Amino acid sequence: MARTKEFDPEAALDTAMRLFWRKGYEGTSTSDLTDELGIARASLYGTFGSKHALYLAALDRFLSGAAGPTPADILASRESALDSIRDLLETSVVPPRGDTPAGCFAVNATVEHGDTDPEIARRTTGNVSRLETALYGALLRARAEGELAPGVDPKAAATMLAALNHGLKVLARAGEGQSDRIRTAIASAMSMLGAPPHADTD
């Protein structure tokens, strides 16, 4: 029949994701991509169509959890809902490890494109609302378990925590992720929700 592909498109997409994540859309050239993916120009265009399509595919891959557990995963992974929220905030500020950049590709995409690109805007706003919904669920769970401080409205607090999470990712991108200041800031937010002081269990 025909010749088979010599590279793994999934692996290439993964590499492209990290490259766009690190350097942004405008800051990444097609030569950067072919160099880093180790494939030829025509292979890139034949497989992904265009730089823009590749960017969207990379963003989709990021949002579906290719760079680690999704927020919803994290928020469901602990018995204590407040503990899971703390986990979420703390994973947002992890420093870069290996070839995984600091910060968040989705936040970078939001800031770079604002609402100018509908395809991207649809993905980033969807990402925000999914995060808020997951946080809302976790807060309801916390309230049911009696963890949540009285007077905290779960809906409003979910939006607030989503915004805080975005802000933490901006600071992580700036390289401030591992500072003690940031850790105490997260602790401050958690104590406002009603969490007792946290003994680090890493």
User: Which positions touch DNA (CB under 7 A)?
Assistant: 1-7, 28-32, 39-43, 45-47, 50-52
Of 74, 82, 189, 195, the residue at the interface with a copy of itself (CB under 8 A) is 189
The residue among 1 and 199 lying less far from DNA, judged by its C-beta, is: 1
The residue among 77 and 191 lying less far from a copy of itself, judged by its C-beta, is: 191
The residue among 66 and 164 lying less far from a copy of itself, judged by its C-beta, is: 164
Here the tokens at position 45 are: 């265009």
Site for a copy of itself contains 181 (CB under 8 A): yes
Here the tokens at position 16 are: 């492209």
The set of residues, in sequence order, having a beta carbon less than 8 Å from that of 70 and lying 6+ positions away, is: 63, 64
Query: Least CB distance from residue 55 to a copy of itself, whole Å?
Result: 14
Site for a copy of itself contains 119 (CB under 8 A): no
Binding to a copy of itself (CB under 8 A): which residues in 149-178?
151-153, 155-157, 159-160, 162-168, 170-171, 173-176
SS (H, E, C) the chain: CCCCCCCCHHHHHHHHHHHHHHHCCCCCCHHHHHHHHCCCHHHHHHHHCCHHHHHHHHHHHHHHHHCCCCHHHHHCCCCCHHHHHHHHHHHCCCCCECCECCCCHHHHHHHHHCCCCHHHHHHHHHHHHHHHHHHHHHHHHHHHCCCCCCCCCHHHHHHHHHHHHHHHHHHHHCCCCCCHHHHHHHHHHHHHHCCCCCCCCC
Query: Residue type for 5, please?
Result: K
Query: Least CB distance from residue 145 to a copy of itself, whole Å?
Result: 19
Total binding residues toward a copy of itself, as defined by CB under 8 A: 51
Site for a copy of itself contains 60 (CB under 8 A): no
Query: Least CB distance from residue 18 to a copy of itself, whole Å?
Result: 13
**CB 104, CB 92: distance < 8 Å:** yes
Query: Least CB distance from residue 27 to a copy of itself, whole Å?
Result: 5
* Number of residues that this document lists for the chain: 202
Site for a copy of itself contains 118 (CB under 8 A): no
- Which residues form the interface with a copy of itself (CB under 8 A)? 22, 24, 26-27, 101-103, 107-108, 110-112, 114-115, 121, 124-125, 128, 132, 151-153, 155-157, 159-160, 162-168, 170-171, 173-176, 181-182, 184-189, 191-193
